[in-house]
Amino acid sequence: MFSKILIANRGEVAVRIIKTARRMGIATVVVYSEADADSLAVEMADQTVAIGPAPAAESYLVAEKIIAAAEATHAQAIHPGFGFLSENAGFARACAAAGIVFIGPNPDAIDAMGDKIASKRFATAAGVSVVPGHVGEIADGAQAAKVSHEIGYPVMIKASAGGGGKGIRVAWNDRDVEEGFAAVRAEAKAAFGDDRIFIEKFIESPRHVEIQVLGDAHGHVVHLFERECSIQRRNQKVIEEAPSPLLDAETRAAMGAQAVALAKAVNYNSAGTVEFVAGQDQSFYFLEMNTRLQVEHPVTELVTGIDLVEQMIRVAAGEPLGFTQDDLAIKGWAIESRVYAEDPLRRFLPSIGRLVRYEAPVEGDAGGYIVRNDAGVREGDEISMFYDPMIAKLSTWAETRLEAIDGMGRALEDFHIEGPSQNLAFLAAVMDQDRYRSGVISTNYIPDEFPEGFHWVAPTHFQADLMTAAGAYMHRLLAARARRQGNGLAGPLTRTEWVVAIDKAKRPVVLADIEDGLVVTLPDEDRALTLTDVDWRPGRSLFRGQLDGRAFTATIEQADEGFIIRHRAARARVLVLTPLSAAMHERLPEKVKADTSKLVVSPMPGLVVTMEAVAGQTVREGEVVCIIEAMKMQNIIRAEREGVVKAVNATAGDSVAADDVLVEFA
Q: How far apart are CA 528 and CA 469, in angstroms?
A: 10
Contact between 598 and 665 (Cβ < 8 Å): yes
Q: Please name the helix (run of DSSP H) or strand (run of DSSP E) that holds residue 162, with its range, or none.
A: strand 155-163
Q: How far is CA 509 from the centre of its chain?
A: 41
Q: Please name the helix (run of DSSP H) or strand (run of DSSP E) that holds residue 574, with its range, or none.
A: strand 570-577
Instruction: Identify the DSSP state of 613.
Output: -
Going by their DSSP bridges, the two strands 606-611 and 542-547 should be labelled as unpaired
Computed from CA positions of residues 5, 9, 15, 17, in that sequence, does the dihedral angle turn out positive or negative?
negative
Q: How far is CA 328 from the centre of its chain?
A: 29
Query: Closest Cα to residue 541, out of 427, 456, 416, 419?
Result: 416
Known catalytic residue at 288 = yes
Q: Please name the helix (run of DSSP H) or strand (run of DSSP E) that holds residue 469, with its range, or none.
A: helix 461-484
245, exposed or middle or buried, with CB in 10 Å at 0-12, 13-18, 19+?
middle
Question: How many Cβ atoms from other residues are within 10 Å of residue 238's Cβ?
Answer: 24
Residues in a beta bridge with 236:
233
Task: Name every residue whose Cβ is closer than 8 Å to that of residue 371 and which is 6 or more positions away in sequence.
Answer: 361, 362, 363, 364, 394, 395, 396, 407, 411
Q: How far apart are CA 530 and CA 550, in angstroms?
A: 10
Computed from CA positions of residues 618, 624, 627, 628, in that sequence, does the dihedral angle turn out positive or negative?
positive
Contact between 413 and 553 (Cβ < 8 Å): yes
Amino acid at 84: F
329, exposed or middle or buried, with CB in 10 Å at 0-12, 13-18, 19+?
exposed
Helix axes 141-151, 174-192, angle to 10 degrees: 120
Q: How far is CA 514 from the centre of its chain?
A: 42
Query: Closest Cα to residue 567, out of 552, 545, 586, 582?
Result: 552
Contact between 337 and 295 (Cβ < 8 Å): no
Where would I find the H helices in 239-360?
Answer: 249-265, 297-304, 308-316
Going by their DSSP bridges, the two strands 101-102 and 77-79 should be labelled as parallel
Contact between 300 and 212 (Cβ < 8 Å): yes
Amino acid at 355: L
Q: Please name the helix (run of DSSP H) or strand (run of DSSP E) that holds residue 216, with its range, or none.
A: none
Q: How far apart are the first and last CA of the chain?
A: 69
Residue among 200, 240, 288, 629 flagged as catalytic = 288
Geometric angle at alpha carbon 211, from 207 and 217, rounded to 5°: 160
Where in the sequence numbering do the catalytic residues fall? 288
